[in-house]
């Protein structure tokens, strides 16, 4: 009885889903396949030439690069993007002394309360403060940016596929849609109606190709590096991408180093466990002829 009822249930489910298949297949065969510019002309993210110092299982931070990245963030990105999960004290992890962090924090104005009147005010930052947001709230951010809220950058490199490469590609990827081509096909020939709406900027690394952020790093030398590195657009993009990789995963290097110690121990323990197992079983295993 149970088997007859089950077989009926199985046939019903299979029948209904196959009916859905027939319907879906008919539509699929009769309708034009989906054809869209963002599907066909989107580019996959790539990193800077030579990759990042933190790539791979033994990669480490390039502290000088992180410091350059901080400078790019502070002078360019921070005008619109917050970094709310990073505190000034965290900067000691990228090679700054306590005094340097204190001095850096003091250059930033953070919201505070006037101790005499209790009113909201701005005060110089302390090492325990977090990077201040450029806008008091989301409404203000949207109002100042053509209705697009600039996302917080703390976790950006983990919040996108191929994050570090994505940030680099996006920053260096602005181009003119009129001449853009991919795999030998020109965007304007395949999609003559394609246009970037006013207030948006064409970037093939962005999901729908049109992005609200104006090219932030336009010219070489936009930021003056303290260590004398030449500030090309590519260099600045790689540096800020590296810095944002650190803000998203400050424990990345510590994690990999811990991992090696753990794996060495586990390999040793597992080899021991294997021989222990062989030893224990040797008395009952049939002898090989």
Partner 1 sequence: MSFPWAKEYTPANGFTKWVDEKLPLPRFVYNAVGAGYPVPRNLNYMWNFGVLAGFCLVLQIVTGVVLAMHYAANAQVAFGTVEHIMRDVNWGWMLRYMHANGASFFFLVLYLHIFRGFFYSSYKAPREMIWLLGVVIFLLAMATAFMGYVLPWGQMSFWGAKVITGLFSAIPFVGEPIQIWLLGGFAPDNAALNRFFSLHFLLPFVIAGVVILHVWALHIPGSSNPTGVEVKSKSDTVPFHPYYTAKDGFGLGVFLIIYCVVVFFLPNMLGHPDNYIEANPLSTPAHIVPEWYFYPFYAILRAFTFDFILEAKLWGVLAMFSSILLWFLLPWLDRSPVRSGHYRPLFRTFFIILLVDMAVLFYCGGAPAEEPYVMISQIATAYYFLHFLVILPIVSSIEKPKPLPYSITEAVLGSDKKAVLGENTQPAT
Q: Which residues bind partner 1 (CB under 8 A)?
A: 2-3, 6-7, 9-11, 13-14, 16-21, 23-25, 28, 34, 57, 85, 90, 151, 154-155, 158-161, 163, 207, 248-251, 254-256, 258-260, 262-263, 266-267, 269-270, 273-274, 276-277, 279-281, 283-287
Q: What is the signed CA dihedral for 60, 61, 63, 67, rounded to 10 degrees?
A: 170
| Least distance in angstroms from the C-beta of 159 to partner 1 | 4
| Least distance in angstroms from the C-beta of 2 to partner 1 | 5
| Least distance in angstroms from the C-beta of 82 to partner 1 | 12
| Least distance in angstroms from the C-beta of 224 to partner 1 | 30
Closer to partner 1 by CB, 87 or 187: give it.
87
Closer to partner 1 by CB, 31 or 119: give it.
31
Closer to partner 1 by CB, 142 or 188: give it.
142
| Least distance in angstroms from the C-beta of 171 to partner 1 | 18
Contact 88, 101 (CB under 8 A): yes
Closer to partner 1 by CB, 8 or 178: give it.
8
Three-state SS for the chain is: CHHHHHHHHHHHHHHHHHHHHHHHHHHHHHCCCCCCHHHHCCCCCCCCCCCCCCCCCCCCCCHHHHHHHHHHHHHCHHHCCCCCCCEHHHHHHHCCCHHHHHHHHHCCEEEEECCCCCCEEEEECCCCCECCCCCCCHHHHHHHCCCCCCCCCCCCCCCCCCHHHHHHHHHHCCCCCCCCEECCEEHHHHCCCCCCCCCCEECCCCCCCEECCCCCCCCCCCCCCCCCCCCCHHHHHHHHHHHHHHHHCCCHHHHHHHHHHHHHHHHHHHHHHHHHHHHHHCCCCCCCC
| Least distance in angstroms from the C-beta of 21 to partner 1 | 4
From CA 74, how far away is CA 8, in angstroms rounded? 67
Closer to partner 1 by CB, 51 or 215: give it.
51
| Least distance in angstroms from the C-beta of 89 to partner 1 | 10
180: β partners: none
Closer to partner 1 by CB, 28 or 189: give it.
28
From CA 95, how far away is CA 66, in angstroms rounded? 9
Closer to partner 1 by CB, 101 or 233: give it.
101
Give me Rg for the CA atoms of the chain.
28
| Least distance in angstroms from the C-beta of 96 to partner 1 | 17
Closer to partner 1 by CB, 219 or 276: give it.
276
């Amino acid at each position: 009885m149970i088997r007859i009822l089950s077989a009926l249930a199985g046939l019903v489910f299979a029948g209904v889903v196959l009916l859905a298949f027939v319907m879906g297949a008919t539509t699929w065969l009769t309708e034009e396949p989906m054809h869209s510019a963002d599907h066909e002309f989107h580019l996959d993210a790539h990193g800077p030439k030579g990759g990042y110092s933190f790539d791979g299982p033994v990669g480490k931070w390039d502290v000088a690069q992180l410091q350059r990245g901080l400078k790019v963030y502070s002078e360019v990105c921070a005008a619109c993007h917050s970094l709310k999960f990073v505190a000034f004290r965290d900067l000691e992890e990228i090679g700054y002394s306590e005094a340097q962090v204190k001095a850096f924090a003091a250059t930033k104005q953070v919201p505070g309360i006037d101790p005499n009147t209790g009113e909201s005010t701005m005060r110089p930052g302390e090492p325990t403060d977090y990077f201040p947001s450029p806008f008091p709230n989301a409404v203000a951010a949207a109002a100042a940016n053509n209705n697009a809220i600039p996302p917080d950058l703390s976790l950006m490199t983990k919040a996108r596929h191929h994050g570090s490469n994505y940030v680099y590609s996006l920053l260096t990827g602005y181009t003119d849609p009129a001449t853009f081509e991919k795999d030998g096909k020109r965007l304007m020939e395949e999609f003559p109606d394609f246009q970037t709406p006013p207030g948006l900027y064409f970037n093939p690394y962005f999901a729908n190709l049109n992005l609200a952020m104006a090219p932030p790093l336009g010219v070489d030398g936009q930021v003056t590096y303290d260590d004398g590195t030449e500030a090309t657009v590519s260099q600045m993009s790689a540096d800020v991408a590296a810095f944002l990789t650190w803000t998203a995963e400050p424990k990345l290097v510590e994690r990999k180093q811990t991992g090696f110690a753990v794996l060495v121990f586990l390999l040793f323990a597992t080899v021991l466990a294997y021989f222990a197992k062989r030893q224990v079983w040797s008395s009952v295993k049939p002898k090989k002829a």
